[in-house]
Amino acid sequence: MQELIQKYNVPGPRYTSYPTVPFWDESTYNTTSWINSLQKDNCSREISLYIHLPFCESLCTFCACNKRITKRHEVEIPYIEAVLKEWKMYLEILQEKPILKEIHLGGGTPTFFDPKHLEYLLDTIKKSCKIPEDVSYSFEGHPNNTTEDHLRTLSQLGFDRVSYGIQDYNPKVQIAIHRIQSFETVKRITEQSRALGYNSVSHDLIYGLPLQSLEDVVSTIEKTIELMPDRIAFYSYAHVPWTKGNGQRGYDEKDLPSAELKRQQYEVGKKMLEEKGYIEIGMDHFALPEDELAKAFQNQNLHRNFMGYTTTKTDKMIGLGVSAISDSWYGFSQNLKNINEYYNSLTKNELPVSRGHILNETDLIIKRKILNLMCHFETDLEGLDINTKLEIKNDLAEFESDELLTIKDNMIKVKPIGKAFIRNVCMAFDLRLKAKQTQSQLFSMTI
């Protein structure tokens, strides 16, 4: 296994989209083309909604997300009003009253916001939509500042899933990543969530963190198993200190585990979770068999988008807020990353978009193939031209030789041992990545 890790540990995308953001062709994109892509399939009124709430009171140095550090809570209402103005613009674009199937609050720290302010934001949005019975509403909570009032307010608004960022319980690792929270705090908020009726509580763990040993990962998972969250996201730490505004320069790279140790952390953690009944789902995710995510994986209904793995598939996913990304299926659009520029654009009654990509026919085919691999660990090669099929098969021949997958006719199936290298497998399908090889490192390492 170590030889395979050394062989395949290269920079690569995480494939929350295809094409990946660094390879978007912005020559195909403008506000008009983006709006046209949203209106292309008006028979589908179902939408998913991602709302980016960027504020945090302190900087977690492992985080590469778009965030704004402040303790000034007077920023809440102006931001919410801006998001609602953006939403009103999208209501006009969508023309018909949308069916709101899914909401996810991400950040930043959504629970930075006062519960009453969140209620105002979400209640206003929900009143403008048709709400079906089968909805999926979730939010990301910080164990240190998620209160019982947050949980109760969001529950009353239809939220029944919450994910808590845990990362690691070892104090020295917590100090390194500036994310200090006790097991007792996590236990309290997990139990409160369940008592208030949340059907799915998820804990986010990270391996490969600075100063993190194998023993740290084992101890963290032992503590996590005590609480038996319904879902566990067991992420590989993405070290991308070159990203603008990133806090990952706060420690030396020599403090990071080697690729071999990092993979050992994952394999040991995976074994511990599976021994307790968790099912490995897609990349980096585990769920108990009775959880909806596990059922979706087993029934091949799992979906993946910019919000991660989800049981809800809608062709339209609209992202609101600074830096949020939207997906119309036919195109992608990202909002302005600078909060003042975001505000200024809305003041001028303009959609606060900054860049995007309109997918061509080949993009749409490859997008589906990569989604199949990320969600089901298999895909076919149907719809691709002969030369592209041959190129992909040639690129995957070494994977087959290493017994990571099988290639039979036009079907690719990843073996259990090959799941660790799923990002590498997807790269064989990534025509835009191969067409625009660059000398600069854009992505974190695949292992």
Q: Which domains does the chain have, with CATH numbers?
A: 2-8+17-319 (3.80.30.20), 361-432 (1.10.10.920)
Distance of CA 85 to the CA centre of its chain: 25
Q: How far apart are CA 276 and CA 225, in angstroms?
A: 8
Q: What mean pLDDT is predicted for residues 83-89?
A: 98
Cβ-contact 270, 235 below 8 angstroms: no
pLDDT at 70 over 90: yes
Q: What mean pLDDT is predicted for residues 320-345?
A: 97
Considering only CA atoms, which of 243, 304, 252, 209 is closest in space to residue 67? 243
Q: What is the predicted pLDDT for the residue at 93?
A: 95
For 344-369, the pLDDT digits (tens) are: 999 999 999 999 999 999 999 999 99
pLDDT at 332 over 60: yes
Residues 6+ apart with CB under 8 A from 439: none
Cα torsion through 378, 221, 207, 181, rounded to 10: 130
Q: What is the predicted pLDDT for the residue at 10?
A: 79
pLDDT at 271 over 90: yes
Q: What is the predicted pLDDT for the residue at 242?
A: 46
Residue that the structure tokens 């992202």 belong to: 319
Q: What mean pLDDT is predicted for residues 167-187?
A: 95
Q: How far apart are CA 222 and CA 244, in angstroms?
A: 35
pLDDT at 22 over 80: yes
Q: What mean pLDDT is predicted for residues 122-136?
A: 95
Q: What is the predicted pLDDT for the residue at 244?
A: 47
Q: How far apart are CA 432 and CA 222, in angstroms?
A: 42
Q: What is the predicted pLDDT for the residue at 438?
A: 58
Q: What is the predicted pLDDT for the residue at 16?
A: 86
Q: What mean pLDDT is predicted for residues 374-400?
A: 95
Q: What is the predicted pLDDT for the residue at 42?
A: 61
Q: What is the predicted pLDDT for the residue at 247?
A: 52
Q: What is the predicted pLDDT for the residue at 259?
A: 81
Higher per-residue pLDDT: 180 or 260 = 180
Secondary structure of residue 98 in the 3-state scheme? coil
Q: What is the pTM of this model?
A: 0.92
Q: What is the predicted pLDDT for the residue at 13?
A: 87
